[in-house]
Amino acid sequence: MRILLQIIQFPPDVNSTGLLMLQVCQGLVRHGNEVEVVTTFPHYEKFRTVEEYRGKLAERETFEGVKVLRLFVYARGNKTMVGRLLSYLTFNFLATLARLVSRRPVDVVLCTNGSFFTGLSAYIGGLLKGTPFVYNIQDLYPEVAVKTGQLRSKLAIALLERIAGFMYDKAAHVTVITPSFRDHLVARGVPDSKISVIPNFVNTSFIKPLPRINEFGEQHRLNDKFVVAHSGNVGHVYDLETLLEVARLMSTHEDILFLIVGEGVAKAQLQAKARDMGLTNVSFLPFQPLESLPSLRASCDVQVSLYKHGSADYSMPSKVYEIMASGRPLLASADPGTDLRKLVQSTGCGLCVAPEDPQELAQALMTLYREPDRRREMGERGRRAAEQSYSSESVVAAYNRLLQEVSNNHRASPPSGTSRLRKATLHVLGR
């Protein structure tokens, strides 16, 4: 089977979805498939194309055994809503153009919704090439942007909802990462039979319980501290302001350090707030190289995934599975009934509190601080759950079965009109 993955960020970019999809691609290759990726030049960390790729329009390479076509993307360092929109549009325009001129045969396209319009690009390319696409939903848009207050225009919301609905309708199949995502799409009118829940996962051979005292901790002066860490995207959905309030409440505990690792649109504002509050027990680090991730997670005593009210309704961070695999307890904030809260409660991998409540969060943290045996037990339960239910092997097998089924069904009964449109387009292109 010949598979094309269309995704806006892919390693060496450190975006978590890209890192996951690299493992999916490598697994699909092991299943005997041919896989190619269409993506952008690396730009995620600083929202600026890395220097070695600047001035280029396109370039082919092989990255860790996977064939990759990298394309120009608008990324000038201004990660505003307009800047991100321009990056989405440039990528999807060039990805569509690349499909039009490509002579490489493809049986099925898998595309993630990280650049929102990817489903449109995959649909247009599919019409012209006679190829079905599977739409992978990592976050529900525009719902997340509305919940976090980034998107307020009723006209823009209505337009994006119509576009999202169109992409759901035109996809041969839709995959979501949690059951609540499926319920939400069903409520929007997407047939339940068209949706598969395939969770994100973790490479449990790569992320595993390691010694608390290690070289990474020594390098960043963590070994003699009780470390409470957020590691990942520093975005608007995360309630890191409350984490700063907890740091202020616990400032008398000189051995507790609050560590925030990563980049994102909210980082500068968060750093300014920490300075204004005079917090000396909060430390910021940039995104770390992938090879440092196991040691980074091992250097923490407690790891957090904190959401604002309503934000966890439409998100399930893949880093949660990394935390579980690392054998460290998870401290989360999420509303009742959300998938994140259910996961914490069902696995016993940590504690979950109400969002935006510094007193409750501080109390839960103090419980973990004072009870090392409880931390150890939570970490062990999380590791077991990661191995049993969220390993990369089982998830890749699910993708392989689904993509094969979509490809077979399409060959058996191609959509009416597709062949005529494809022939007409090839005639116009002179092929």
- 51-82 pLDDT per residue, tens: 999 999 999 999 999 999 999 999 988 778 78
Q: Where are the alpha helices (DSSP H) in 103-153?
A: 118-129, 143-147
CATH number of 2-201+391-428: 3.40.50.2000
pLDDT class of 236 with cuts at 50, 70, 90: confident
Helix axes 118-129, 418-428, angle to 10 degrees: 90
Whether domain 215-389 has CATH 3.20.20.70 = no
* pLDDT at res. 425: 41
Q: How far apart are CA 49 and CA 216, in angstroms?
A: 28
312's CB contacts (< 8 A; 6+ apart) are 334, 335, 338, 339, 340, 341, 355
The domain segmentation of the chain, as residue ranges, is 2-201+391-428, 215-389
Same fold, 2-201+391-428 and 215-389: yes
* pLDDT at res. 79: 76
pLDDT class of 391 with cuts at 50, 70, 90: confident
Beta strands 133-137 and 302-306 are unpaired
- 350-374 pLDDT per residue, tens: 999 999 999 999 999 999 999 999 9
* pLDDT at res. 267: 94
Query: 């966890």: which residue's tokens?
Result: 312
The arithmetic mean of pLDDT across residues 376-399, rounded, is 93
- 163-206 pLDDT per residue, tens: 999 999 999 999 999 998 999 999 999 999 999 999 999 999 99
Q: Kindly state the percentage of the chain with pLDDT values over 70.
A: 96
For residue 254, pLDDT beyond 50: yes
Tokens of 31: 């299943």
* Average pLDDT over all residues of the chain: 92
Tokens of 56: 């280029």
Note if the pTM is more than 0.85.
no
* pLDDT at res. 415: 63
Q: How far apart are CA 237 and CA 239, in angstroms?
A: 7
Tokens of 18: 């890209």
- 403-429 pLDDT per residue, tens: 999 999 998 886 654 444 444 444 444
For residue 224, pLDDT beyond 90: yes
* pLDDT at res. 204: 92
- 308-322 pLDDT per residue, tens: 998 888 778 889 999
